[in-house]
Amino acid sequence: MEKSIAASRGALASDISGSDGAAVVRTWAIIGAAFVVFILYVVFEWVTAPYFGPTQLAEGVEVPLNFKIGVWTVQIGMSLVWAYLIWTQIIKPIRQTGQPNTAGLLGIAFFVAIFWDPSMNWIQQGCVYNPYALNLGFLSGEIPGWMSPRGNLLPEPLLAWAGGYPGFLLWMTFGGLAVMRFVKARFPTISNVKLSLCGVFAAMVVDLVLESLLIRYSGIYAYPGSIRALSLWGGHWYQFPLYEALLFGGWVGCTSVLLYFKDDKGHTWVERGVEKMAFCKNSNFRQSMVRLVAIIGFCQVLEIIIYVLPMPLITANADPFPEDTPAFFTVGTGMCGPGTGLACPRPDLPIIRRNDLEKFSDTVQIAHEPVGEAVVR
């Protein structure tokens, strides 16, 4: 009787966790694979679109020398940082154990996250980029449901972000991880919930510091479409919205928590049980691929819930672009401003959807409204 009860309990436990103990990693891998397919579809639509190509700096618009230097510093510096992390977190671990570290897989997942980088512009433009940076425009206009006009002209600095997203975000992850380890050493009895909150908050702080420095001194991007009362240096082109650190730093901070809690095999929660999958047995390569896709799925879900969904709604309530916003961010890209046929977003103008440009091309709100006039104070 006792044996049958124990056997039934064992069967129940097995049913909950999956018959082979890999239910969690399999679920996240399926989610990740779905996102990868969707992203590849959008990328294909983008590269085959007739407008595909770089957004050129408009004639007569200049980028100051200090910002040219800043752009190249970021492009080269971030690439070197990512190259170092590829060596230390992917190549070396593969040579030693046959598989990359989870941090290296996170770096690749962060690279994939570039897809959602300008998501705050979904309803109306809030972030801008320097067209002096190497770019190919961006794929925003091909994302189903994208509302704001001229998303394809957004000069996403692909070279800078190709290294910057993995490198920059891993800095944030490592910052949160370091704080969690410090706090745990200092307060050994602290609960896991409080410890996790410390890690997430630390990542928010790292994001605030690094992004503020990048904006102010490199001029590679800015957040002119922000709520000034909720921003540092509100009313200036280099303003930094605190909710950017809260939301963006928040979802990246969750990866610090993910890295902190590992099992005895060095696997995080979303990778656990990968070695039990029949597909992965006796193959380090297949295990690595499943782990990677699972982590991509985890990061994509986090980013969409915590950042991608709320950020456009906040941006839709932003104040006007600051009057000192450099022309290379607006007129220089052709996205908005005098002579572009589209006013930069302001609370006293209607929100223009991308299919409104042709329908209402003769209205003052779109065609002839100079940026900076009638600024709401």
Domain ranges of the chain: 18-367
Q: Dump pLDDT digits (tens) for 253-267.
A: 999 999 999 887 888
Q: Dump pLDDT digits (tens) for 178-232.
A: 999 999 999 999 999 999 999 999 999 999 999 999 999 999 999 999 999 999 9
Provide the percentage of residues in the chain whose pLDDT is more than 70.
89
User: What six digits make up the tokens of 272?
Assistant: 């656990």
Residue type at position 95: R
| Cα of 149 vs its chain's centroid, Å | 21
Given 3-state DSSP classes, what are the helix, strand and coil percentages for the chain, each rounded to the nearest 5?
60, 5, 40
Q: For Cα atoms 280, 112, 179, give the angle at the middle one, nearest 5 degrees.
A: 90
CA distance 189 to 307: 32
Q: For Cα atoms 84, 88, 93, give the angle at the middle one, nearest 5 degrees.
A: 150
CA distance 108 to 194: 28
Instruction: Say yes or no to pLDDT of 297 above 60.
Output: yes
Please tell me which residue, 103 or 365, carries the higher pLDDT value.
103
Provide the percentage of residues in the chain whose pLDDT is more than 90.
74
- Phi and psi at residue 354, in whole multiples of 5°? -65, -30
Q: Dump pLDDT digits (tens) for 98-122.
A: 999 999 999 999 999 999 999 999 9
Q: What is the pLDDT of residue 369?
A: 46
Q: Dump pLDDT digits (tens) for 334-353.
A: 999 988 888 899 998 888 88
Mean pLDDT of the chain: 89
Q: What is the pLDDT of residue 276?
A: 84
pTM of the model: 0.88
Three-state DSSP at 221 gives strand
CA distance 72 to 311: 28
CB atoms within 10 A of CB 182: 12
E strand or H helix at 129, and its extent? strand 128-129
Residue type at position 215: I
Confidence of residue 309 (pLDDT cuts 50, 70, 90): very high
